[in-house]
Amino acid sequence: MDVERVLLVWFVTLIPGILSDPSDEACLTNLRKSLEDPNNLLHNWKKENFVKPCNDSTSDLQGITCNNGRIYRLSLNNLSLRGTLSPFLSNCTNLQALDLSSNFLTGPIPPELQSLVNLAVLNLSSNRLQGEIPLQLALCAYLNIIDLHRNFLTGPIPQQFGLLVRLSAFDVSDNRLSGPIPASLSNRSGNFPRFNASSFLGNKDLYGYPLPPLRNRGLSVLAIVGIGLGSGLASLVLSFTGVCIWLKITERKMALEEGKISHLMPDY
């Protein structure tokens, strides 16, 4: 037997070993722990199937697509899943598409997702996610689609998202976001796409182009009338006091002048 043949046999027998990936296993094991599946729809998501989730490009595991023995798409949408997003999703390092939309997931979007450097699609829409949108997502340079619409996300839209030059779809509508819309997302400059108002609507405290300008933002009509009346009254009181003081001063001056004059006048 020549050395080349031995090496080949050794290499071929090694491939199944390569296919069982410890990172993907950690990813799935922890994700399964963080998810609740009340309707028992993740039938085969069992510990023993996580060791080798990929059979080349296919997987027996529901919602998983593989490529070269690694998980590359994870799609568990509309399964009534509860629970949270595991930060160990970041262990699925070859992931290109993550779709957990239309479930009942709570808690934050883990900033650890920044390690998913191949991520192109992130769809977490229609859940109950809370907290701020992690600015670290801007490090996933291949992101094409960010869909976070219909959640309970708060805080600003990270300015850093302007760095995501490949972004072709962006939707954060119907959340609780606040602050200005980053100009890099709303305006076209060079090859940057522009996202229209539909991407941003339904966030009470989000403002700026392309959203329509807001009437009396933050202040009710009553408050404005109150402030108007109040300041009107205050200036009235102020000017009245001013006039009074002026009158007093001139009165005193006049009295003084009068005194001087009477002083000069001879007494009769």
Ligand X SMILES: *[C@@H]1O[C@H](CO)[C@@H](O)[C@H](O)[C@H]1NC(C)=O
What is the full DSSP assignment across 189-212? -TT-----GGGT-S-TEEESTTSP
125 binds ligand X (CB under 6 A): yes
Shortest distance, CB of residue 222 to ligand X, whole angstroms?
A: 31
Shortest distance, CB of residue 206 to ligand X, whole angstroms?
A: 13
Closer by beta carbon to ligand X, 23 or else 154 = 23
Closer by beta carbon to ligand X, 205 or else 254 = 205
139-168: which residues touch ligand X (CB under 6 A)? Answer: 145, 147
Task: Answer yes or no: are the C-beta atoms of 101 and 147 closer than 8 Å.
Answer: yes
175 binds ligand X (CB under 6 A): no
183 binds ligand X (CB under 6 A): yes
Element housing 259 (H / E)? helix 221-264
Burial class, 98, CB count within 10 angstroms (exposed 0-12 / middle 13-18 / buried 19+): buried
Per-residue contact string for residues 195-234; x = within reach of ligand X by CB under 6 A: -x-x----------x-------------------------
Burial class, 151, CB count within 10 angstroms (exposed 0-12 / middle 13-18 / buried 19+): buried
CA pair distance 235, 115, nearest whole angstrom: 60
Closer by beta carbon to ligand X, 83 or else 86 = 86
Out of 33, 44, 55, 68, point to the residue binding ligand X (CB under 6 A): 55
Give residue for tokens 């080798």: 52
CA pair distance 178, 250, nearest whole angstrom: 56
Half-sphere exposure of 123 (CA within 13 A, CB side): 16
86 binds ligand X (CB under 6 A): no
26 binds ligand X (CB under 6 A): yes
235 binds ligand X (CB under 6 A): no
With CA atoms as reference, report the closest residue to 151 among 106, 217, 189, 195. 106
CA pair distance 1, 117, nearest whole angstrom: 43
169 binds ligand X (CB under 6 A): yes
36 binds ligand X (CB under 6 A): no
266 binds ligand X (CB under 6 A): no
* Binding footprint of ligand X on the chain (CB under 6 A): 22-23, 26, 55, 60, 77-78, 88, 90-91, 101-102, 112, 123, 125-126, 145, 147, 169, 183, 186-187, 196, 198, 209
